[in-house]
Amino acid sequence: MEHTDIFEIGGKRLSSRLFTGTGKYGNDELIAPVCEASGSEVITVALRRVDLDGKTDNVMKHIPTHMTLLPNTSGARNADEAVRIARLARAMGCGDWIKIEVISDNRYLLPDGYETAKATETLAREGFVVLPYMNPDLYVARSLADAGAAAIMPLGAPIGTNRGLRTEEMIRILIEEMELPIIVDAGIGAPSQACRAMEMGAAACLVNTAIATAADPVLMGRAFGRAVTAGREAWLAGPGAVATLAQASSPLTGFLDRTEGAS
């Protein structure tokens, strides 16, 4: 039986659960073919990089029109700055979706949960579809949900590191405990890792560095698209339980059942 697996978020219905990015490409002209090859329908763009008035190449013109724009607040160091960037993005015609990034530590680029929650609350009240980037912490996740987030974006590893799902246990807890969609963002370095996140029950994955810095970004984008689909289908298929000991198909205690049946 074929699944009709649509991911609905912020009033939009998405058939792909892979979100992509626009940063770090050696050539922005790769963005469109990556979107096509990966099947991605949502793309994040750092508003600080957008120069609509400049005579130089503008990243926005490389984003296919069917994509849902997810402007991010990269560069914001507190809630106030994130809110201003979000409002600016909306004023520029980038839509109502916003990925909150509040980072004031340039070494590991870890997000500030408290400031992120404050920005989320303000922007959700203003009608934004807020997707906050966060450390996978259950209490922060709950405060983000209370603040009106549309989804939660925990990191798998620090941004740009390609180190994979280092926070797997914490993400698993979020998936189990939260009702909001969990979109794993940052750190995913290989399609197998994205697949693993989806097998765990993540709603989607956002991948930028691993695609943009690959030797062949278009081929890598396709690989990620397929991996996310494969992981999602595995989750939907309901994987068998994991056991510690081997369970023989002819169990050692099978005779007990036969004895009872014979009596």
Q: In whole angstroms, how close is the CB of 77 to other proteins at the nearest point?
A: 5
Catalytic entry in 12, 24, 61, 99: 99
Q: Which is nearer to other proteins, 80 or 168 (CB)?
A: 80
Report how far apart, in Å, the C-alpha atoms of 148 and of each of 103, 130, 175 are: 20, 7, 17
Q: What mask of x and - would describe binding to other proteins in positions 94 to 123, judged by CB under 8 A? A: ----------xxxx----------------
209 touches 162 (CB < 8 A): yes
Query: Could you tell me which stretch among 33-41, 45-53, 177-185, 247-255 binds other proteins (CB under 8 A)?
Result: 45-53
Q: Considering only CA atoms, which of 167, 98, 105, 102 is closest in space to residue 138?
A: 167
Q: Which is nearer to other proteins, 85 or 206 (CB)?
A: 85
Report how far apart, in Å, the C-alpha atoms of 95 and of each of 10, 180, 194, 197, 199 are: 11, 21, 27, 28, 31
153 touches 206 (CB < 8 A): yes
Binding positions for other proteins, 58-87, rule CB under 8 A: 75-77, 81, 84-85, 87
* Long-range contacts of residues 31-35, Cβ cutoff 8 Å, at least 24 apart: 31/59, 31/62, 31/63, 32/62, 32/63, 32/64, 33/218, 33/221, 34/211, 34/217, 34/218, 34/221, 35/63, 35/64, 35/67, 35/221
Q: Is residue 24 annotated as a catalytic residue, yes or no?
A: no
Q: Which is nearer to other proteins, 85 or 129 (CB)?
A: 85
Binding positions for other proteins, 11-40, rule CB under 8 A: 23-28
Q: What is the residue type of 257?
A: D
Give the CA-trace dihedral at 244, 246, 249, 251, to 10 degrees.
Answer: -90
Q: In whole angstroms, how close is the CB of 18 to other proteins at the nearest point?
A: 19
SS3 state at 250: coil
Q: Which is nearer to other proteins, 57 or 177 (CB)?
A: 57
- The number of residues that bind other proteins (CB under 8 A) is 32
Binding positions for other proteins, 190-209, rule CB under 8 A: 209
Binding positions for other proteins, 118-177, rule CB under 8 A: 160-162
**Mode of pairing for the β-strands spanning 68-72 and 42-46:** parallel
The set of catalytic residues is 99
Task: Tell me which residues touch other proteins (CB under 8 A).
Answer: 23-28, 48-51, 54-57, 75-77, 81, 84-85, 87-88, 104-107, 160-162, 209, 212-213
Binding residues for 1-deoxy-D-xylulose 5-phosphate: 160, 186-187, 208-209
